[in-house]
Chains A and B, each alone.
Chain A
Amino acid sequence: MTSLRTGTVMTRRAAHAAAPHRRARRWTALAFLAPLLVYLLVFYAYPLYRNIELSLHDYTPRAFIQGDPEFTGLENYAKILSDGAFLRALGNTALFTLGSIAAQYAIGLALAVFFQRTFRLSAVLRAMFLVPWLLPLIVSASTWSWMLNSENGIVNAALQAFGVGQINWLTSPDTSLLAVTVANVWLGVPFNLVILHAGLQNIPAELYEAAGLDGAGAWQRFRSITFPLLRPVSLITLLLGLIYTLKVVDIIWIMTRGGPADASTTLAIWSYREAFGTGQPDFSPAAAVGNLLILIAFAAGLAHVRLQKEGS
Chain B
Amino acid sequence: MAHFTKANSVGEWFDQRLATTKFMKVMMTEYWIPKDVNFLWAMGVVLAVTFKILIISGIFLMMYYKPDVNLAFDSVNYTIMQEVAYGWLFRHMHAVAASVVFLIIYIHMLTGIYYGSYKKGREMIWISGMLLFVTFSAAGFSGYMLPWGQMSYWAAMVITNLFGGVPLIGDALVVWIRGDFNVADATLTRFFMLHVFLLPIVIIGIIALHFYSLRVPHVNNQEGADIDFDAEAEKYLAGNKKDSKVIPFWPVFLSKDFAVLGVFLIFYFYLVFFHYGFAMDPINFDPADNMVTPPHIYPEWYFLWSYEVLRGFFFDIAGIKAFDLGLAAFGVANVIFFLLPFIDRDPEVLPAHRRPRFNIWFWILIVDLLVLTVYGKLPPTGVNAWVGFFASVTFLVLFIALPFVTKADAKARGAL
Do A and B originate from a single complex?
A: no
B residues engaging A (CB < 8 A)? none
A residues engaging B (CB < 8 A)? none
